[in-house]
Structure 1
Amino acid sequence: MTIDTTIAYGSHRDQVADLYLPAMNDPAPLVFVLHGGFWRAAIDRTHARPEAQAFAALGYVVASIEYRRVGNGGGWPGTFDDAAQALDVLPTLIEDARPGRIDQDRIAYVGHSAGGHLALWAALRHYLPTGASWRTETAPRVAGVVALAPAANLVDAYHRSNGEGAVAELLGGGPDELPERYAATDPALLGSADIPVVVVHGDKDQRLPIEMAREYCAKSGAELVELPDTGHFELIDPASAAWPFVVAALRRCLD
């Protein structure tokens, strides 16, 4: 399955999303895919292409979002500016580009690793501290979130030095130096979503440990799908044994 079109949601070259359409022409649920890569410019949305194609083959409209990352204008605040803007405006832009193809009441965020962090964060923007530029007055219009091996706790990830200091690069320092930045961006500090949230995580993940997912889900009430003998990248591989669990999680959010 090939990209149907690429839609710009801003003026920067990385403020775009690749759109994948299913074979049927009826309105379909819209799945936003947010790729991982520890928020760094070295990894872009091509990393998520097999995942996006597989979701489209299942009958979903898929928008694979690019965003500015550390090294190309991202980090604080650009990465968060882009994630918020993309998720706010793309439903309308997609409807304008391909009228009648999406069901506006059935939208899901799916993110892997750093993208999983952004997906969780984006669904909680109505809980951001007062004055945070990305705060919304009402809950974002999303039916559910599937977070695949997410960086669900930025304070924890900082202290563990996950990604060799990736959180410090993203936010410009640690939680003791910049507590207000962590308060505005860390899903673990923002409370519980009132929509289905499913975290899928492998117990052999060497990049973001399963303990982070267990603690996040215990605190937030999100559902945890813990996969034995599974690492970090199997979750975005449609040929892996983990993939059916990812699909099932998405269906629980949308179907």
Structure 2
Amino acid sequence: MRVSRIFSVILLTMPPLFSDTESKRVKQWLKTDKNSDGVLTIDETSGLMRRFFNRNDRDGDGKLTKEELGKLDARLKQNPRNGEQRRRPEAALVEGVTVRKNQVYRSGHDRWKLDVYLPKEKAPKGGRPGLVFVHGGGWKNGSKESEFWASLPARYAAKGYVCISVNYRLTGDGGGFPACVHDVKNAVRWFRANSKELGLDPKRIGAYGNSAGAHLVSMLGLVKKEAGLEGKGTHLDQSSLVQAVCASATPSNFLKWKNQLFPNRGVLAGDQENHHARAAKASPVTYAAKDAPPFLLVHAENDRTVPFEQGEVLANRLKASGAKNVTLMRFKDGGHGVFRAKETKTYAAMEEFFAKVLKRSPGTTPPKNKVTNGCK
């Protein structure tokens, strides 16, 4: 309590953060926007803004938008002792959930860690279904520590799922493709290897991700061992495939990104000679197949970060391949943060999706094949 009060005093003594009006405050924060793209990444922040970046990144996409900065300004204006009530993401955890922080799924890198969220009650015979949560952030930012990626798995653990929230290597610390795919696949293999101790049914695992995380969970659903993307990590005797995927604002086709090849930088940085082949290998659409698991895709038509066509082409490619149970939730607005912007619809849809696919009794007929558009 005393530390929180000190934190509040420090905040109140910082003139740039607490100018007289909201517009001045947000404008002051955006002065560190080096590339003038209207958002702040963690590399463009410092001090308290950097320290509490993940807390204020409400959708966990590795960026602070003007909307998120405005909400931060409003929270601080309404309650200058806000830090006392929201010290850590754990404060949002629901009763009846046990959290195991920073479990190492592979040794040798600080990003090879995950958090486990467990229902406190004893697991039923055969184990519980599991969920893997993968943060976004353009493959260069983001963390399992952000409020969204801590509260969501806690929420599902309270509903009877065994959950993990995963960190992976980012482009600035040895990540990019294929390292990011290697890492999340390793995390799923770790999950399965520890299924008995965690009370997990290894045959019933789903995954959710947003933006870059949506790309990665799509790869978890589609990329088989023969594709050569398992990496050199641990538990290679285990499968890294998941049985259900929910993905929002999904990058799915790097070969046709805004009608051209995705640039040879960022997640796809590498030698120019193999750039086209690398883009194809990194694209979820490359692996669309009849035996693909059920997919729930969420995308907004006005997404300026990941074009709507990226979600649409994945849904269409899966359907054309004969995949069962493909649903596209299409919104006119909501932008890149559509999953939270339309949470009254998306949260319920994801909850129902995972319940139908992962909680059904053995022998139950799986959901029928469908692609649904027009969800406004």
SS of match in other structure, 2:305: coil
Q: Flag the structure with larger Rg.
A: 2
Alignment of 1:166-185 (within 5 A): 168-172=265-269, 177-185=274-282
- Which digits, 9 at most, give the CA deviation of each residue in 1:195-214, with x for residues without a partner? 21221223333322222211
**CA contact under 8 A between 1:154 and 1:182: conserved in structure 2?**
yes
**Partner residue in 2 for 1:33:** 133
**Partner residue in 1 for 2:287:** 190
| Aligned residue type for 1:8 | V
- Which digits, 9 at most, give the CA deviation of each residue in 1:137-171, with x for residues without a partner? 99754221111221122223376798xx6x73112
Give % identity.
Answer: 24
| Bigger Cα displacement from structure 2, 210-219 vs 220-229 | 220-229
Q: Does residue 20 of structure 1 match 2:117? A: yes
| Aligned residue type for 1:116 | A
Q: Does residue 151 of structure 1 match 2:240? A: no
Q: Does residue 231 of structure 1 match 2:329? A: no
**Partner residue in 2 for 1:67:** 168
**1:117 Cα deviation after fit:** 0.6
**1:60 Cα deviation after fit:** 1.3
**1:128 Cα deviation after fit:** 5.6
Match of 2:189 among 66, 79, 88: 88
**Partner residue in 1 for 2:4:** none
- Which digits, 9 at most, give the CA deviation of each residue in 1:24-79, with x for residues without a partner? 32232110011111111x31112322222222232211100110111112113321
Q: Which has the higher helix share?
A: 2
SS of match in other structure, 1:152: coil
The 3 A distance-change label for structure 1 pair 175 and 237 is farther
The 3 A distance-change label for structure 1 pair 237 and 54 is farther
**1:105 Cα deviation after fit:** 1.9
| Aligned residue type for 1:213 | G
TM-score by length of 2: 0.58
| Bigger Cα displacement from structure 2, 167-176 vs 187-196 | 167-176
**1:93 Cα deviation after fit:** 2.8
**Partner residue in 2 for 1:249:** 353
Structure 1: distance between partners of 2:106 and 2:237: 23
| Aligned residue type for 2:248 | L
Q: Which has the higher strand share?
A: 1
Structure 2: distance between partners of 1:22 and 1:236: 25
- RCO higher in structure (CA 8 A, sep ≥6): 1
The 3 A distance-change label for structure 1 pair 183 and 212 is closer
RMSD: 3.1
**Partner residue in 2 for 1:116:** 214
Q: Does residue 212 of structure 1 match 2:310? A: yes
**CA contact under 8 A between 1:111 and 1:147: conserved in structure 2?**
yes
Structure 2: runs of 5+ lacking an equivalent: 1-92, 320-325, 360-376
**CA contact under 8 A between 2:298 and 2:328: conserved in structure 1?**
yes
The 3 A distance-change label for structure 1 pair 213 and 76 is closer
**1:14 Cα deviation after fit:** 0.8
**CA contact under 8 A between 1:199 and 1:223: conserved in structure 2?**
yes
Structure 2: distance between partners of 1:52 and 1:60: 9
| Count of paired positions | 246
| Aligned residue type for 1:4 | V
**CA contact under 8 A between 1:126 and 1:138: conserved in structure 2?**
no
Structure 2: distance between partners of 1:84 and 1:38: 18
Q: Stretches of 4+ moved more than 4 A in 1?
A: 135-141, 158-162, 173-177, 236-241
Structure 2: distance between partners of 1:111 and 1:62: 13
TM-score by length of 1: 0.82
Q: Does residue 8 of structure 1 match 2:104? A: yes
SS of match in other structure, 1:45: coil
